[in-house]
Structure 1
Amino acid sequence: MRKLKNSELDRLSVNDFKSVKKTSLIIILDNIRSLNNIGSVFRTSDAFLIEKIYLCGITATPPNKDIHKTALGSTDTVAWEYIENTIDLIEKLKTENIKICSVEQAENATMLNDFEVEPNTKYALVFGNEVKGVTQNVVNNSDVVIEIPQFGTKHSLNISVSCGVVVWDLFSKLKSNNL
């Protein structure tokens, strides 16, 4: 095996990225305090053609040098919008028939490996604060809560890692089902 050069990766240009068909996934970052986590989510969103990121509450917005440090330019490709109140956003997205999925540990949560994507459905994935997680009010207003199975002693993942795991899983399921 030979490691590929950057010139061999067939990357999209910024203009091509903006016009290519996106994955039926939206990300909502609710009160994320770490600028590096925000930048990492942008980079993951670029990699998997996420339709849009909503930045809510105390979540910082681009342009910001600390977000840029981990986003590596993906704040220029991935569509984003700041909405102060997450519940207002969720109510708006529900009127557009978007299924709200909080990623959290909760009673009756659906384990990620058991979550099945539905045809013709767009999903909004809510990721919460690094310490407090997704607020109970947001959980209450979600259509489903998805939990990442964990087997060690900590039972928590960094928000950017959680985002990568969940987005990859749903992206794979959507693509394998041609959705």
Structure 2
Amino acid sequence: MNDELKPMSTPFTKLKLEELGRVDVETFREQEKLQVTVVLDNVRSMHNIGSVFRTADGFAVEQIILCGITAQPPHREIEKTALGATQSINWTYFNGIKEALQHLRNQGYQVIAVEQAENSINLNQFQPKNNQKYALIFGNEVNGVSEEAMEMVDGCIEIPQFGTKHSFNIVVSAGIVLWDFFAKLNFK
């Protein structure tokens, strides 16, 4: 199959909602999931939290763990961007990140920070394994992943950046990393 883009003799027509093959919440809960748990470490913005829920739904991740000051559903500001994904994605709240990470470790997860750090691995060089469960930590919008969490991680992934800011919004980071994991694990 040739994947090159070619001019079409007929225009592209957007799909209608009923043509998207969307599943209901019950079917989603029963379907196979990407063996990834998203951990939000002191994320301040409820819009960011809602958007991460929606992104996690899009890639069918196992669950989201909310820690510290990260707000919890149900909340109107979270729902503005989650668009109902708080109903489809399983989530849990922990007061502290250490308790959350220990819980994940006890369940066999490899705990990985998504952060700019010494000895981090560029995302494009990291190859997730099919039979491994991963917990991906995304940090606070200003301070990133907490030092408490960094002391407990098994590894650190960094998204290569080439501009002047070297800073993506947490939702953009989650989208990039989750797509990368999904693609590497499902499209080999």
Shorter chain as normaliser: what TM range? Answer: over 0.9
CA displacement, residues 103-134 of structure 1 (integer Å, 9 cap, x when unaligned): 00000000000011123100000000000000
Any conservation in 1 of the 2:44–2:141 contact (CA below 8 Å)?
A: yes
Structure 2 match to 1:147: 158
- Paired position in structure 2 for 1:173: 184
Deviations 1:117-157 (A, max 9, x none): 12310000000000000012211210110000000000000
One of 156, 164, 168 as aligned partner of 1:157: 168
Equivalent residue letter for 1:168: W
4+ residue segments displaced more than 6 Å: none
Partner of 1:113: 124
SS at match of 1:81: strand
Percent identical = 50
2:58 is the counterpart of 1:66: no
SS state of the match for residue 21, structure 1?
A: coil
Residue 29 of structure 1 aligns with an amino acid whose one-letter code is: L
* Counterpart secondary structure, 2:40: strand
User: 1:176 deviation in Å?
Assistant: 2.4
Query: Which one of the candidate residues 74, 97, 101 is aligned to 2:112?
Result: 101
The amino acid that maps onto 1:136 is E
Residue in structure 2 matched with residue 138 of structure 1 by the alignment: 149
Tell me the SS of whatever aligns to 2:43: coil
**Deviation at 1:59?**
0.2
Q: Is this contact kept in 1: 2:97–2:148, CA < 8 A? A: no
Structure with larger Rg: 2
Where do 5+ consecutive residues of structure 2 fail to align? 1-11
> Letter of the aligned partner of 1:131 in structure 2?
V
Q: Which runs of 5+ in 1 are unaligned?
A: none
Task: Determine the structure 1 residue equivalent to 2:55.
Answer: 44
User: Over aligned residue pairs, what C-alpha RMSD do you find?
Assistant: 0.8
